Amino acid sequence: MPTKKAPAKKTVTKATKKVATKKSAPKKKPAAKAKVMSAKAATKAKTPAKKAVKTKKTATKKAAVPKKAAAKKPAKELVYAADHQSFWTTDGQVLNSLLALSDALTDMETGAFEFHIDGDQNDFSLWVETVLCDGECAAELAKAKTQKSAQSVVKKHLKTYSI
């Protein structure tokens, strides 16, 4: 019986040696990773003072990015109304675009402008919304009560178009 036990122990030790040699190769790789992580940990320990400086720089950069993004909006195509959808003013002008409305508001007589802005109804605003499909401009035109304010609204919105 003792002879059977001895070979069993030898095979176990050989097996453990093989397992140990197989495990020793992978242990080297994690050991290298551990060194890298310890280097990262060392840099983290050194960087707290630098992080305060970086956060100030990134905060400044973040504030600058939205301004650039707002300036880079793609220009819209200017919409021209068909002849049967053109706007006919009381003084005889025929308008087919926002550009034509801007020019007309410059030359329009006060009486003609007041006729189209009567009480709560604003003919220019309705036309811009339904025919030219510019809801933002139409909403601002509806609030404009003077010819100059309407003209400034139209010029502001013309900047968003590719002309």
Amino acid at 136: E
Confidence class for position 162, pLDDT limits 50, 70, 90: confident
pLDDT, tens digit, 9 for 90 and up, residues 91-124: 999 999 999 999 999 999 999 999 999 888 899 9
Cα separations (Å) of 24 from 3, 21, 75? 31, 5, 64
Task: Please state whether beta strands 117-118 and 121-122 pair in parallel, antiparallel, or not at all (unpaired).
Answer: antiparallel
What confidence category does residue 3 fall into, taking pLDDT thresholds of 50, 70 and 90?
low
Does the pLDDT of residue 21 top 50, yes or no? no
For strand 161-162 and strand 76-77, is the pairing parallel, antiparallel, or unpaired?
parallel
d(CA 27, CA 29): 5
Q: Tell me phi and psi for residue 162, to 5 degrees.
A: -90, 115
Q: Who's near 108: CB < 8 A, 6+ residues apart? A: 89, 91, 93, 147
Question: How many Cα atoms within 13 Å fall on the side-chain side of residue 161?
Answer: 18
Distance (Å, whole) CA 143 – CA 33: 66
pLDDT band at 20 (very low <50, low <70, confident <90, very high): very low
Tokens linked to 39: 């280097």
User: 79 or 66: which carries more pLDDT confidence?
Assistant: 79
Q: Which residue has the tokens 């030219």?
A: 132
The whole-number pLDDT of residue 163 equals 77
Mean pLDDT of 64-73: 54
Residue 104 and residue 127 in contact, taking contact as beta carbons nearer than 8 Å: no
pLDDT for 66 equals 54
- Note whether 112 and 88 are within 8 A (CB): no
How many CB atoms neighbour CB 90 within 10 A? 14
Whole-number pLDDT of residue 85: 96
In angstroms, what CA-CA distances link 43 with 40, 104, 117, 126? 5, 67, 68, 63
